[in-house]
Every structure is written in structure tokens, then in C-alpha cells.
Amino acid sequence: MPDFPQTQKTRIHRLPKRGHYDRETIYQIIDEALICHVGFVENGQPFVIPTNFARVEDTIILHGAPASRMLKHIAAGNPVCIETTIVDGLVLARSVFHHSVNYRSVVLFGTGRLLEDDQEKMAALKAVVEHLIPGRWSEARLPNPKELDATLVVSIKIDEASAKLRTGLPGDDEEDYALPLWAGVLPLQILPQAPIRDERLPAETPVPAYVASYKR
Amino acid sequence: MPDFPQTQKTRIHRLPKRGHYDRETIYQIIDEALICHVGFVENGQPFVIPTNFARVEDTIILHGAPASRMLKHIAAGNPVCIETTIVDGLVLARSVFHHSVNYRSVVLFGTGRLLEDDQEKMAALKAVVEHLIPGRWSEARLPNPKELDATLVVSIKIDEASAKLRTGLPGDDEEDYALPLWAGVLPLQILPQAPIRDERLPAETPVPAYVASYKR
């Protein structure tokens, strides 16, 4: 698959060495991220809304209630910007100026369309559930026709995209290395804690492996 | 302090019980979140950019390089939407339809201004560093005049804001409670891992308490 082109919207100007345009890098970040942040414009006003999502090939799937302002706006074919970011650590330099964050982010642009075919909607919803909790779709009670009707699903074709990454240790000015203070990286990770059982769950119901060994 | 008014832009229409408009709830989320997502409009096109930030009273501080398109746009007084979200857990219902995420998010609107006074800039940068790593500012080498000149800082007055929260266990349809599958919440937390020392750090330099006991 070819890289995404570097466009006026996606070219990384600040610290261009941190910019990536290949699908592999971009899609790995998208697939690992828990949620995304959807930007759209209404009456000239910017809005940003957080939401669950999934990637299916070169598209992003969003879903929600039919009354959702954001989804109706996207379904109408308006341009949308979707951003997602994974924070990997805090970068503590000797100088305040060189403090930073290790992160992997993607910003992408596209336009959406409403999914109306039930099979296509089901496949999209499966992708969203499996994005969040791989393994859950085959166990949970699947959407019935009434629930499917009560769910609006949009698919956004990724027209332009770029990733921006920072990794590694701090970079300080040469004269600051002599300063007597700790410097390095404090890694951060999203980690699952002990699962909380639903109150109405029979005592013998085991925690499934995809919950017990969940990893992001 | 009074609540933020419920405006056309900030009123939670979908699941209004999840909406909060009081400063205490909104500011707790803002202060706990690591990064924010800044939405703005250029030539009718939405952009969303992730960035570090801090809250100072009723304003949001952003900073970066003077060449930053986003910061120049905000400094020029254009409207901005800032969103930040903390994911607290995955909500596994018996039905796919009732799957959800426990989260705390804030969406706010305002317009920015460029900080030009050096003292005001220093105070704003201190807030950004202390937001990320409380305790670091008093130990790190502070910005010198050249670095301060090379840093663009904007302050965005929060004009409108709302928070949206989901907490607790899944809610299933009554007939689904009999299904023989695990249901509950898988809590997620951002946790620090072992600090990584900079390669050029003298061996005797101790890890400071604010790093060793970092908590988000």
C-alpha cells in the first residue's frame, strides 16, 4: 500500500523528523488507541467530541444514537478531522525548555457516509467492539433488528493522514548536562485493574480470558 | 463560583443525566487529564491537534513553537474548542448494544490571546510543567530570556464548558440477565512504569520523589 501523500493539511512542519506518512505506522497507532477525538465545523464553530471507533481497511467507523449531532453532521457528508494519541511517557530534561512527552499521534481527514445496509452495519459494529475488547463479539448477545435500527453508523474514508511520534530520552543543551538533577523518561501505560463483576452475575461465571489478560 | 450556563453548544442532549456544568466537576477532569485535543477551523476545514496544557483559574494555557499553525491561529483570536477525556474502564454488558466505556470528558469553548508579558509567560509555563509533573518546576533549569522568546504561549478564556461522565456497572435489558456470560467493568488506569535514567546521568543521582511516586 502506498504512503499517504504529504498535503498542506497533513505535512508535519514543526520537527518534520517526527512525521510519518506510511499506512503501517499510522494504522498501528489507530488500532492501539482506545478512543478518538472527532473535529467538525458547524456554523463556523469548531467542535471536538471524544468517541469509540474502529478502523476497517482505509475507513474509520463511528457509531451512536441517531440523535447524535456529530453523527448526523458526518452522515451528511461534511468534512471531518479525527485525531488519536497514545501517551508513552513524560520526558524530563534538565531544562524546562526541553521537557516533552513521548507520544504517538495520528491526525486524519476525510468525509463520511451513513451505513444503511444491515450487514454492513453489523460488520462495522463488530469492528468497534473488537477494537475495544477483542474476543467479546463472539460471546455477547448480538444486536437485534430493533437495536440495529436504533444505532447510527458512519464510515469515514481516510483521504489524508499523518502520524507524529516522539520516542527516547531527553535532549538537553550541552552546558546543562552538568546540572545535578535527575533526567530521563517516566514511561506511562494504560493498564487494566482487577475486573469488577456485575452485581447480578451468578457466582460461578468465570472471567473470560480476553478480560483477564486484557492488554492495550 | 457559579456553574457554566447550559448553552446550545454545551448542553448534553444525549443521556442528559451524564451532563455536568459545575466548575468543580469540570476542573477536576481538566486538571487530571494528561493532554487535551484542540479543535479549530481554517478555511472551513476542521483541525484537531493534541497538546500539553494547563488550567489557570478560568483559562487554558497552551504553548509551543512560534511557528505553530495552531498557536498562531489561536493567538489571532479565533474560536477554539478544547476537549479532554479520561477513560476509566470498559463496560461489558450482556448485549453488544449496552456495551460502553466509563469515562469523564470535558468539552469547552473560548477564544485565546497571546501572552506577551514575560512574567505572565513564566507563570503560564510553570502551570504547564506542574500540570504534567508536579514538583518539577522548582528543580529544573528555568527558561532563559532566549528560550522564553522562542516559546509562544496563549491563554484561552473558558467561555462555555460542560462535562460528560459515565460510571458504574452495565445496564442490560431485563431478559438478558439470564444469559450465561460474564458482565461487569474492566477498570483501566494510566500507571507509571520504572523510570528510565538518561544515559549521561551520573550514577549517584537519585530519582526524585515526584518521579518515584508519580500518580495521575
Q: Which residue of B has its CA nearest to A203?
A: B182
Coil, helix or strand at residue B175: helix
Taking a contact as any Cβ pair under 8 Å apart, which residues of chain B between 39 and 58 contact chain A? Answer: 39-41, 44-50, 52
Top-level class of domain B16-172+182-212: mainly beta
Query: pLDDT digits over B59-107, tens only?
Result: 999 999 999 999 999 999 999 999 999 999 999 999 999 999 999 999 9
Query: pLDDT digits over A174-205, tens only?
Result: 999 999 999 999 999 999 999 999 999 998 89
Question: Rounded to two decimals, what is the model's pTM?
Answer: 0.96
Model pLDDT, residue A194: 98
Closest to B48 (Cβ–Cβ): which among A34, A48, A184?
A: A48
| Residues comprising chain A, all counted | 216
Q: Which residues of B touch A200 (CB under 8 A)?
A: 177, 183
What residue ranges do the domains of chain B occupy?
Answer: 16-172+182-212
Provide the phi-psi class of B57: left if phi over 0, else alpha when psi is between -120 and 50, else beta. left
Residues 6+ apart with CB under 8 A from B105: A50, B29, B83, B84, B85, B86, B163, B164, B165
Closest to B129 (Cβ–Cβ): which among A89, A99, A200?
A: A99
Per-residue pLDDT of chain B (216 residues; tens, 9 = 90+): 889 999 999 998 888 889 999 999 999 999 999 999 999 999 999 999 999 999 999 999 999 999 999 999 999 999 999 999 999 999 999 999 999 999 999 999 999 999 999 999 999 999 999 999 999 999 999 999 999 999 999 999 999 999 999 999 999 999 999 999 999 999 999 999 999 999 999 988 999 999 999 998
Question: And the C-alpha cell for B22?
Answer: 459545575
* Least confidently predicted of A3-17, A27-41, B118-132, B169-183: A3-17
Taking a contact as any Cβ pair under 8 Å apart, which residues of chain B between 143 and 202 contact chain A? Answer: 143, 147, 150-151, 169-170, 176-177, 179-202
Q: Which CATH architecture has domain A16-212?
A: Roll (2.30)
Query: pLDDT digits over B86-99, tens only?
Result: 999 999 999 999 99
Q: How far is B116 from chain A (nearest CA, A)?
A: 17
Model pLDDT, residue A15: 86
Q: Which amino acid is at B83?
A: E
